A and B are shown apart, each in its own frame.
Chain A
Amino acid sequence: MRKDSFIYRFFNLYYEGFRDMKLGRTLWTIILIKLFIMFAILKVFFFPNFLKEHAPGNESSYVATELIDRAEP
């Protein structure tokens, strides 16, 4: 691939940028740990989609029942 082509220069921007990072390595490590905690632990184990668990495919009826019943005296 020609080194002055757009695709090469685009790839090279990221490649050399990531390769030469100093503080960026620490920050990326923190970002990845944070995303892992959020998506692989918190989302999976602590934040299920409530309606999909309790009323799969029937969400509107479930919410209707909730909204109507909660208005009862």
Chain B
Amino acid sequence: MTNLLLIDAGTIEWSRAQFALTAIYHWLFVPLTLGLAVIMGIMETCYYRTKDTFWKDAAKFWQKLFGINFAMGIATGIILEFEFGTNWSNYSWFVGDIFGAPLAVEGIVAFFMESTFVAVMYFGWNKVSRGFHLASTWLTGLGATISAWWILVANAWMQYPVGCEFNPDTMRHEMVSFSEVALSPFAISKFCHTVTSAWIVGAVFCVGVCCWYLMKKRDTRLALESLKIGAIVGLVASLLAAATGHKSAQDVAEVQPMKLAAMEALYNGGTDVGLTAVAWVNPFSQPDYANDESAPLKIEMPYALSFMATNDIHGYVPGINDLLNGYTKPDGTREPSIDEKIERGKKAIVALADYRKARQEGVPVDSLGAQLATINENMKYFGYGYIKDKDQVVPYIPINFWAFRIMVGIGCLLILFFAIVIAGAYKWPAKLWQKRDITSLPHWHYWVAIALIPLAYIASESGWLVAEFGRQPWTIQDMLPTWVAVSDLHSSSVIITFFLFLILFTTMLAVEINILIKQIKKGPDYSA
């Protein structure tokens, strides 16, 4: 028999750290794959339309960089599945059927689409028609994007569990509606925001590489034409990411209001709430949200948070204390306090224990209607039954607050950057660019563009930090906290694998960067 007190506290934190490490490393590879897929697709489309071999060489060059990143990223996500089975076995069992379906579809689709079309893309030049080759290039990118879709469906389900029913006999959530799971609004918003942000990373990478060529005064045509495509993709993607981010924020406001409150360090909610531009939130300690009115040195944009969360500048946004103590929503319904939710969670767990005991004693299911009804009525708050102190449901505010600002800040910077690059590439307005040429600017201009590559990654990873830290302590929103989801392991075994992964992934990253730099320095192979 295991009691929570006997679970090694280090196991929880190390398992979380290990999962975060592998997910963060995995996400270093994925956005560039999705982003470069669009860039190389556009290049090859130009070749298809113009028959100019320059575009074929350009497409092949970007496909080569895509291939390096793709090869390095392959299977890095599988480690997350290893961790589910070993470190998070209670979680894995509890969600099994729901989580398994999207991941299985992802595996099958990714394998068949990518193995077929990647092969045609790399091996098929001069062997298949130009049209079929072009289709294969786009389908390679589409395959990777569809893979991302299923992974994000699985992730979205953890944040907003829908389309399922808990079976107390099997102790698993069972899928009752595949469409509800696969087409959950939360998943759709998450997919759109994640994929558009990945396009930004690809575009920044493309523009950065082009700027390096321009700085070195080599491969100028490739650099200039690629720069134009990269900057246009980047600007469109940045604007789309801003729009999809707005929708994501509304979803979060609706189903994970505590995450939104933590992102904003909003201790006490209300109507007409402003969006915090900056405030002093100590990065190293949880604020005293129970006693402070708001974060100090706060500068806010009036009404913007209400608009972001509700599409109405006067909309009501609950703060952390409202969520802890319960509040009345604008539609008159009451959101229970955490204490009330804890009571309901405990009821569900007690009813589950009674049900399981009775079943072991051979009592037929028909006679256990009361227990089943209690479980079903309170399953929504099942996880609260493990909460000992209501402060446990407040995520670590500083990480959410700063990660959100880093993501949005860099995102805004990139919109400006792409707009300037497009203006420079197309010499608009002509008067401003009369004496300047984007191919011969002072070097620091190009270094700024190159420096934005890591910043784009930081923004992308920050988005994931908000998504995942913001839902703490839940592995499944409101149903399963981390300390119940984790396996009864000794922390030492998790620590060993944590460092093994750190070494493995860092080596892979170093190898990738090394090969990428070599190939960029080598440049494209031009047709004779």
Contact = CB atoms under 8 A, between A and B. Distances in A.
Interface size class of B (residues with CB under 8 A): 35 or more
Contacts of B119: 13-14, 17
A70 to B, nearest CB: 4
Given A49-B85, A60-B172, A63-B93, A68 B120 contact: no
A3 B1 CA distance: 67
A69 B3 contact: yes
B74 to A, nearest CB: 6
B478 interface: no
A16 B67 CA distance: 18
Contact of B123 (A17, A35, A72, A73): A17
Interface residues of A, number: 41
A34 B352 contact: no
A71 B93 contact: no
Interface in B304-320: none
Nearest to B91: A63
Given A60-B170, A70-B7, A71-B386, A47 B86 contact: yes
Contacts of A7: none
Given A26-B515, A68-B353, A71-B386, A48 B4 contact: no
Nearest to A50: B89
Nearest to B356: A64
Nearest to B74: A31
Nearest to A16: B123
Interface in A1-54: 9, 12-14, 16-18, 23-24, 26-28, 30-31, 34-35, 37-38, 42-43, 46-51, 54
Contacts of A59: 93, 171
Contacts of B123: 13-14, 16-18
Interface in B247-280: none
A70 B386 contact: yes
4 A-B pairs closest in CB distance? A17-B123, A50-B89, A27-B71, A47-B82
